[in-house]
Structure 1
Amino acid sequence: MANEFFRHYGPDAAVAISPRGQSIMEVFFNGERIYDKKGEGNIFPDLKRVREMRQVIDAKLGALEPAPADD
């Protein structure tokens, strides 16, 4: 999953994958949880689900306002 995100975004988007104890694994983008393994039946995401997460990230990136250039 991490490789899929990094391959698609490179260093341009910070995506946090947060594995924790008790089989908890969450994916956050811009502070918002976009995946929760426990909330999805304790099943690790397959490639189709990872690509769905990428679509969510792409939509959120498209909705962000561009940062002003430093002068």
Structure 2
Amino acid sequence: MARRALLTDRERELIEGGGDTDDELRYQAVSRVRRKIQEELTEDIDILRENHPDLYAELREVVCESN
């Protein structure tokens, strides 16, 4: 079983687009991901920063320095 990070497989499909992607479904996927970033991810980041600085540093490196 493949694990996921921020996006579900379906959200990935919708956001990547393609010929048969419904605009409304794509909009909903973007909204869900935006909510995850603003609410859930920020809380997880705070927990890592306060309780496991090494993991926080790894996350920061991947997010801030990857292409």
The structure with the largest alpha-carbon Rg is 2
**Relative to total residues, which structure has the larger helix share, 1 or 2?**
2
TM-score, normalized by length of structure 1? 0.33
**Relative to total residues, which structure has the larger strand share, 1 or 2?**
1
TM-score, normalized by length of structure 2? 0.35
